[in-house]
Structures are given as structure tokens and as C-alpha cells.
Amino acid sequence: INDKDITTLKKDNLSKFRRNELGFIFQDFNLLDTLTAYENIALALTIQKVKTAEIEKRVHDAARKLDIMDTLEKYPYQLSGGQKQRLTIARALVRNPEILILDDSASALDFATDARLRKAIRENTKDMTVFIVSQRATTIRNADTILVLDDGKLAGMGSHKQLLKECDVYREICLSQLSKEEVERDEQ
């Protein structure tokens, strides 16, 4: 990554790389219940010793973009699943990582909330490399490149349109999740 073989990094340098270059959004929110939403978002910046005024600006910018301004003084246990998910996205984005990894982060969300989150992620990650791990076709269909795994093996690689035509496993997944009309429209 950036001409560095990260597999050769020693413990401290690997930790620094993860802290400074990567953002993670997991299926499990990993929020600290003793901290407010604001404090959860600001935590990594506080650890990095970012100035208080800059932390406040970044947290509020991220919260506005993800429509969670009204939750900043609440604790995670007071939030809905969708609000917690937006909180974890804000926490990752506020650091401006070069690489963002979303590991099945929307699987517990309803489709409408998932669609709003995909839009927010798309609008706020223009200069990032984004890896999305998902079982939902709607979550990954607009990705530049999709890797299809079947029983742990690579079954296909390409765009949504290419895979619909060339990868039976992907087409089957899409047909099980999307309408036949949507799939046929996407093939054209």
C-alpha cells in the first residue's frame, strides 16, 4: 500500500499505519457505552492529539453529513441501530483515512437505512479507497470492481453488469435479492 509492503511492518509501525491510514466500520458497532456519541466520534482524534477546535469542527461536519447532530449528547445505548451505524461511519470518516474498510456493516439495517448510509458513504469517500464486504447486492452493485466469493474461492471479478452476464454465482445472488426486472435492466 503506497509502495509499502505492510506485511513487513513491525508491531509499532503496523499500529501507526492502522491508526493513521485505515478506517474500519464493522457489523458490530464497537462503541463505548460510557462515552457520548460525540466522544465516541472524537476518540481517535483525541488520542492523536488533534487540537480541540479541529476535533469539534470535524465531529460536527461528519455528524451533519450523516444526519446525527441530534444524537451527539446521547449515549450509544440510547440510539437506534441506524443511528449507531451512522455514528460508527462518522467515527471512521472523521479521521480522513486513505483506506476505508466496511465489513458487512449494514447487514442489520433495514433497506431504506442501508440506502441512506450507502449514499452518505459514497458522498464522503471520494478521495478514499473503499473496500466493502457485503452479502447484499444493493450494497455493492455500484462498486468499481466486485469480487465474488463462493465457498471461499474467487468465483468472479468485474463490474455489476459484467458479473450479471459472466458469473452464474453472482447472477443467482442478485436474482435472490433483486427483482428479475431489475436484474434484466442492469444487464443492458
Q: What local confidence, expressed as pLDDT, does residue 107 receive? A: 63
Taking 50 as the pLDDT cut, the residues of the chain under it are: none
Q: What local confidence, expressed as pLDDT, does residue 17 receive? A: 84
- Quote the CA–CA distance of 30 and 27 in Å, as a whole number: 9
Q: What is the pTM of this model?
A: 0.77
Q: What local confidence, expressed as pLDDT, does residue 106 receive? A: 65
Q: Is 174 left (phi over 0), alpha (psi -120 to 50) or beta?
A: alpha
Residue whose C-alpha is closest to residue 168's, from 153, 148, 152: 148
Alpha helices in the chain (DSSP H): 11-21, 37-47, 52-65, 81-93, 111-124, 137-140, 160-166, 168-177, 180-187
Q: What local confidence, expressed as pLDDT, does residue 108 receive? A: 61
Q: What local confidence, expressed as pLDDT, does residue 48 receive? A: 86
CB 106 within 8 A of CB 28: no
Q: What local confidence, expressed as pLDDT, does residue 145 receive? A: 95
Q: What local confidence, expressed as pLDDT, does residue 127 receive? A: 82
Q: What local confidence, expressed as pLDDT, does residue 169 receive? A: 95
Q: Which residue type is seen at 89?
A: I
Question: What share of residues in the chain are helix, strand, coil (percent, to 5)?
Answer: 55, 15, 30
